[in-house]
């Protein structure tokens, strides 16, 4: 992406999250081209992985996303309330869920069990129209979905409900356990179980519009898993779903998390920094105070591990991350001064850390870094540099 006016000026707020929707569109287009004939679902659950669900959803649709995917019915209804009218799938209901609202809003719901089928049937009755229903088979993740042993019964009941006009079965799907490890034997095993489940559904008379298994990593790394539709979350945001395995696709991280230095001050050798003095200066040096902490979703694990970008260099975090602030060492300080920009992570093109760098520093995955950052930070959207 081009260096933009909106990003080259200092942050507007104390601390902000800037999301470039042009990057999202670029990533969605890139992934669509990669997967060829398969349709594209952009997964926007958890507030668009912290990027803003509604804004990301609009950008994804503009870039050709055929479907949007969310976890909860509430998320799906929020997309409808924001004006989205295209196919939306949700997949995580709890007993007593308001299926009628989802059905009325023309949202595809997912059933894992006969109990959920009964709830969807009641919802369709209340809504006064047939549901769009997808079925999930647990092919080996051992999370949601019907076990293979329970699948024939679920499929038969789903077919009976279809014939009774309660719903139309629009999709059959599953989810992989180890798609970020392409050589993991679970990938072949799960795909095999999925193919068998599809055959059983077909034999029972179901004719779904979409059969789908792949998330971002599988969509990129495992063409055989693409079926009719791929469900891309992380890669749509420009992050690498399988570090060490993903070819360079030119995806662009859409999120930049940044703040302004509160103060810059010299400290003498021997100064202990932040709670518990887990870092002690071994020479006279300079510290910069950054006004974000775990109350803003900055992982506490980043203390003494991650780096931030100040004055054209990567600067180490020193000492523990506090609730509202953290400390970086500015050595040499250059002309760093209070008010200057601090990039925690961004697209990495100028050398600043990325969410992946932070994930490695914090022994987690970039999903968690971008999804949890926020708190009191102000989020704004830009479009290739201009305000969105």
Ligand X SMILES: *Cc1c(COP(=O)(O)O)cnc(C)c1O
Interaction residues for ligand X, span 247-306 (CB under 6 A): none
Q: Indicate which single residue of 123, 241, 253, 297 sits in contact with ligand X (rule: CB under 6 A).
A: 241
| Known catalytic membership, residue 275 | yes
367 is annotated as an active-site residue: no
| Residue 91: CB minimum distance to ligand X, A | 6
The residue ranges of DSSP E strands in the chain, in sequence order, are 15-20, 39-43, 67-70, 88-90, 109-111, 131-136, 167-173, 210-214, 229-232, 255-260, 263-267, 272-273, 279-280, 285-290, 307-310, 313-316, 326-329, 341-345, 378-383, 386-387
Tell me which stretch binds ligand X (CB under 6 A): 97-105, 232-240, 343-351, 355-363. Answer: 232-240
Q: Which is nearer to ligand X, 91 or 358 (CB)?
A: 91
Q: Does 231 bind ligand X (CB under 6 A)?
A: yes
Q: Are 57 and 84 in contact (CB under 8 A)?
A: yes
Cα–Cα separations (whole angstroms), residue 202 to 8, 155, 206, 229 = 55, 9, 5, 18
Query: Binding ligand X by CB under 6 A: which of 22, 23, 40, 43?
Result: 43
Please tell me which residue in 49, 99, 275, 367 is annotated as part of the active site. 275
CB of 366 to ligand X, least distance (A): 10
Residue 350, token pair as written in the block: 């100028």
Between CA 258 and CA 187 the distance in angstroms is 38
* Smallest distance, ligand X to C-beta of residue 182, A: 14
Among 48, 208, 233, 291, binds ligand X (CB under 6 A): 233
216 binds ligand X per the rule CB under 6 A: yes
Of the residues 45, 99, 112, 237, which is catalytic? Answer: 45
User: Cβ-closest residue to ligand X?
Assistant: 233
φ, ψ of residue 83 in degrees (nearest 5):
105, 0
- Of residues 77-116, those binding ligand X (CB under 6 A): 91
Instruction: Return d(Cα 352, Cα 314) in angstroms, integer.
Output: 6
Rounded Cα distance between 145 and 344, Å, is 38
32 binds ligand X, rule: CB under 6 A: no
What x/- string results for residues 161 through 180 when contact with ligand X is judged by CB under 6 A? --------------x-----
Unique residue bearing structure tokens 């050595």: 331
Using CB under 6 A, count the residues that bind ligand X: 12
Q: Which residues are catalytic?
A: 45, 275
Q: Would you tell me which residues interact with ligand X (CB under 6 A)?
A: 43, 45, 91, 175, 215-217, 231-234, 241
């Amino acid at each position: 992406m081009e260096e933009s006016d909106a990003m080259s000026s200092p942050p507007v707020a104390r601390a902000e999250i800037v999301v470039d929707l042009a990057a999202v569109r670029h990533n969605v287009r890139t992934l669509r081209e990669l997967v060829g004939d398969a349709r594209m679902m952009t997964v926007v659950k958890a507030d668009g992985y912290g990027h803003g669900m509604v804004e990301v959803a609009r950008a994804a649709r503009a870039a050709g996303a055929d479907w949007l995917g969310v976890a909860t019915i509430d998320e799906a209804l929020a997309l409808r309330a924001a004006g989205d009218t295209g196919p939306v799938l949700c997949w995580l209901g709890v007993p007593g869920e308001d299926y009628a609202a989802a059905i009325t809003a023309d949202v595809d719901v997912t059933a894992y069990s006969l109990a959920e089928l009964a709830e969807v049937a009641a919802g369709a009755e209340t809504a006064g129209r047939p549901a769009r229903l997808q079925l999930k088979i647990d092919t080996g993740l051992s999370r949601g979905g019907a076990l293979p042993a329970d699948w024939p019964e679920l499929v038969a009941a789903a077919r009976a409900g279809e014939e009774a006009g309660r719903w139309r079965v629009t999709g059959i799907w599953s989810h992989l356990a180890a798609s970020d490890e392409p050589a993991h034997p679970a990938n072949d095993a799960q795909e095999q179980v999925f193919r068998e489940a599809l055959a059983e559904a077909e034999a029972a008379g179901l004719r779904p519009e979409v059969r789908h298994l792949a998330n971002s990593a599988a969509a990129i790394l495992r063409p055989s898993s693409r079926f009719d539709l791929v469900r891309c979350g992380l890669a749509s945001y420009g992050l690498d779903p399988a570090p060490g395995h993903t070819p360079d696709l030119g995806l662009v991280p859409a999120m930049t998390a940044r703040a302004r230095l509160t103060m810059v001050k010299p400290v003498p050798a021997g100064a202990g920094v932040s709670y518990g003095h887990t870092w002690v200066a071994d020479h006279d040096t300079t510290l910069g105070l950054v006004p974000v902490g775990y109350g803003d979703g900055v992982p506490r694990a980043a203390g003494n591990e991650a780096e931030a970008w100040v004055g054209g260099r990567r600067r180490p975090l020193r000492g523990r991350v506090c609730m509202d602030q953290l400390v970086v060492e500015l050595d040499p300080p250059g002309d760093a001064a209070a008010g200057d920009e601090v990039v925690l992570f961004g697209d990495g093109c100028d050398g600043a850390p990325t969410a992946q760098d932070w994930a490695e520093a914090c022994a987690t995955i970039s999903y968690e870094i971008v999804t949890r950052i926020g708190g009191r930070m102000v989020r704004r959207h830009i479009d290739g540099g201009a305000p969105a």
